[in-house]
Amino acid sequence: MEEDQSYFGTEDIDIEQEIQDLKKKKTSQMELVWLRFKRNKLALIGTAILFLLIFVAIFAPILAPYDPLETNVARRREDPSRDHWLGTDQLGRDLLSRLMYGARIALFIGLIIVGVSGGIGVTLGLLAGTIGGWVDEVIMRVVDAFMSFPVLIFGIAFAVSFGGGLYPVIMAVGLITWTQFARVTRGDVLAIKQEQYIEGARAIGESRFSIITRYFLPNVLPSIIVVATIQMPSAILYSAALNFLGVGVEPPTPSWGEMVNAGSRFMQFRPNMVTVTGLAIVVTVLAFNFMGDGLRDALDPVRRGGR
Amino acid sequence: MNIVETRNLKKFFESKKGTVKAVNDVSINVIKGETLGVVGESGCGKTTLGRTILKLIEPSSGKIIFEGKDITNLNEKQIRPLRKKMNIVFQDPVASLNPQMTVYDHLSRPLEIHNMISSEEEKIKRIIDILNTMGLKAEHMIRYPHELSGGQKQRVCIARALCLEPEFLLLDEPTSALDVSVQSKILKLLERAKSKFKVSYMFISHNINLVRSISDRIAVMYLGRLVEVGDTKKVFRDPKHPYTKALFASVPQPDPDKKVKIALEGDVPSPVDPPIGCAFAPRCKDKVGKICDDKMPELEERYDRRVACHLYD
């Protein structure tokens, strides 16, 4: 009898029909995330700002009214006017154009730094948390050591010894800001380790690797996203700060840090340059934070601490 | 023939207060095709015993024999193929499912790991089949655990354990989180799997009535040790060990005129510092004398079962 071949084998199932039905009913995972995400108004605003920023960064050559490198000694340090909406800098370059081109650098730097530090941090955090013992000890002491370095000093030293420029700065900031990723990942892993579903995974014979990739990683992901959205703006800030101090993007390439630096020199009588650039940094940072908050709540089906 | 057997199994945990002797010198066997009920108060080591048998935690000493093969010293990798043959259903269905995996993922993983299926279609068919048997629908496949009720979650857990068609299933209070109607459905399904496929169960519970109705044999645990093991009917008709007697007496009867007797007084001694003699001696009403406090009674064959008590020396 067919019935005796399996525990179940109750009735014949029209598999095609079932799959068709399922397809109709299934709201895809992304749709669900989006449904939850759009309930958070701040997150939507943040995302809109970021999209605008990305749009501006990509189409800067078309959108910018002037060449950001074109100087005009006759019209230096001007207040906003019809010709120059945000005014000009100390060399008579159009501020709006420089701000637009600067967004390219800022976003690029933010992404790469978070990628580097996230990659290092999450991997080490997972190792520390899952293996434990002396591996955990060693990794966490390294984290402590790195956390005690002042980021800017390390950044300057590292960048200068590798010849300055953009990439040494990116590497420097990436190499020093991974600690937060490692700590958060490890902390989450230690909590998840106690969960019964990890024991359940072992009971069905999951390998160590599968347990890490299928059980630990998806469950730490919401926290990692939050850290990433916190790290992203601070990466932009750090690189701006390093720029301000003179390492990183070489002049005359427009970068926000360098612009704040230049503007600060004549802040008393022409505050527009510092204010406008500073505002751009603040808005970008906030937009990332808002979006990250919304993403975390939307991605986590259990919605720990979600609204 | 035994499907699972332990010999002098011990599991000690180190704690700040000292060594907790959670499972102490337990020798027990589950015969192929039977249901062995394990009862005892909270903290007596039932759950630890179960987990140690499945090697989810490492035993401190003793032996675990599965299908005649010593599995005590197998490492995680070596034991993996055996995981197809033995499985566990935990007490808390909420905690036993990965919140980031759908029901489909939960049921397809065991099939994938043990190469139980050859095609995607077969897998889906199989999963739908299992879900239907468990009283769930195909549409539940795309649900996440938090979208299911407690009873549905536990059915998913049992489906996951049964979909590999194991030889031995450890049920750690599988129905205590469910309401009565779902309970009986699940017990029926377990019964059916047992009669058809000779799957053996070890049913851990503190619900004495439940154990009585589904077990062939019963083992009573107290403070990490077995005190009485025997045929369910015989043990219930005539419990020998004073602790078993007290335990059965404290089960509420469905008769409002009968008062619940408080048969057990005092607290369970600490497993960190168990009595030198019989662990039950400080609470025992039938103490034979000084020997109860001085000498640990062995679990010996008495009458038609095994009892650890000096009363029958």
B212-253 pLDDT, tens per residue? 888 999 999 988 889 999 999 999 888 888 888 888 888 777
pLDDT at residue B122 greater than cutoff 70:
yes
Among partner residues B138, B146, B165, which is closest to A302 by beta-carbon distance? B146
Residue ranges of chain A whose CB lies within 8 Å of a chain B CB: 4, 6-11, 13, 15, 18-19, 21-22, 25-26, 195-197, 199-208, 210, 214-215, 218-219, 221, 301-302
Span of B109-113, B175-179, B280-284 with lowest mean pLDDT: B175-179
Task: Give the ranges where A64-195 is alpha helix by DSSP (H).
Answer: 95-131, 133-148, 151-161, 166-176, 179-193
Show Cβ contacts of residue A209 under 8 Å, excluding neighbours closer than 6 positions: none
Among partner residues A4, A205, A215, which is closest to B98 by beta-carbon distance? A215
CA dihedral (B66, B67, B70, B71) positive or negative = negative
Among partner residues A21, A199, A210, which is closest to B56 by beta-carbon distance? A199
Q: What is the ipTM of this complex?
A: 0.83
Tell me the chain A residues in contact with residue B196 when contact means C-beta distances shorter than 8 Å: 4, 7
By C-alpha distance, which of A266, A249, A284, A281 is closest to A88? A266
Among partner residues B95, B100, B129, which is closest to A9 by beta-carbon distance? B129
Given this model, what pLDDT does residue B134 score?
78
Asked if A57 and A103 touch (Cβ cutoff 8 Å), the reply is yes
Asked if B229 and B218 touch (Cβ cutoff 8 Å), the reply is yes
Q: Please give the residue that has the higher pLDDT: either A13 or B107.
A: B107
**How far is B283 from B35, CA to CA, in rounded Å?**
30
Given this model, what pLDDT does residue A307 score?
33
Q: At B69, is the secondary structure helix, strand, or coil?
A: strand
Instruction: Give the CA-trace dihedral at A233, A237, A242, A245, to 10 degrees.
Output: 170
Given this model, what pLDDT does residue A2 score?
38
Given this model, what pLDDT does residue A3 score?
41
Neighbours of B229 (CB within 10 A): 23
Span of A39-43, B65-69, B128-132, B230-234 with lowest mean pLDDT: B128-132
Q: What is the pTM of this model?
A: 0.79
Distance from CA of B81 to the nearest CA of A (A): 7
Q: What is the DSSP string of B267-284?
A: -PPPTTS--SS-TTGGG-
Backbone angles phi, psi at A87, to 5 degrees: 95, -170
Given this model, what pLDDT does residue A301 score?
59
Pairing of strands B2-15, B18-31: antiparallel
Neighbours of A71 (CB within 10 A): 15
- Pairwise CB contact (< 8 Å): B110 & A205: yes
- Pairwise CB contact (< 8 Å): B157 & A4: no
Residue B77: pLDDT band with limits 50, 70, 90: confident
Sorted by where each starts, the structural domains of chain A and their CATH numbers stand as: 40-304 (1.10.3720.10)
By C-alpha distance, which of A49, A54, A180, A69 is closest to A106? A54
Q: What is the DSSP string of A137-174?
A: HHHHHHHHHHHHS-HHHHHHHHHHHTTSSHHHHHHHHH
Beta strands in chain B (DSSP E): 2-15, 18-31, 35-39, 61-66, 69-70, 86-89, 168-172, 200-204, 217-222, 225-231, 300-302, 305-307
Tell me the chain B residues in contact with residue A22 when contact means C-beta distances shorter than 8 Å: 138-139, 141-142
Give the count of Cβ contacts less than 8 A between chain A and B.
112
- Pairwise CB contact (< 8 Å): A10 & B129: yes
Pairing of strands B200-204, B168-172: parallel
**How far is B135 from B154, CA to CA, in rounded Å?**
12
- B253 DSSP 8-state letter: P
**How far is B107 from A173, CA to CA, in rounded Å?**
44
Tell me the chain A residues in contact with residue B146 when contact means C-beta distances shorter than 8 Å: 301-302
Given this model, what pLDDT does residue A1 score?
35
Comparing alpha-carbon positions, the chain B residue that sits nearest to A220 is B100
Query: What does pLDDT average to over chain B?
Result: 86
Distance from CA of B104 to the nearest CA of A (A): 12
- Pairwise CB contact (< 8 Å): B87 & A302: no
Among partner residues B126, B130, B144, which is closest to A301 by beta-carbon distance? B144
Tell me the chain A residues in contact with residue B76 when contact means C-beta distances shorter than 8 Å: 202, 208
- Pairwise CB contact (< 8 Å): A6 & B129: yes
Given this model, what pLDDT does residue A29 score?
62
B23-43 pLDDT, tens per residue? 888 999 999 889 999 998 888
Could you tell me the mean pLDDT of each successive run of 10 residues in chain A, 307 residues long? 46 63 60 80 91 90 81 76 76 84 87 92 93 92 90 85 82 88 93 90 90 90 85 82 79 80 81 86 89 81 47
Please report, rounded to a whole number, the percentage of residues in chain B having pLDDT higher than 70. Answer: 97
B141-165 pLDDT, tens per residue? 888 888 888 888 888 998 888 888 8
- Pairwise CB contact (< 8 Å): A301 & B130: no
**How far is A211 from A169, CA to CA, in rounded Å?**
36
**How far is B22 from B224, CA to CA, in rounded Å?**
5
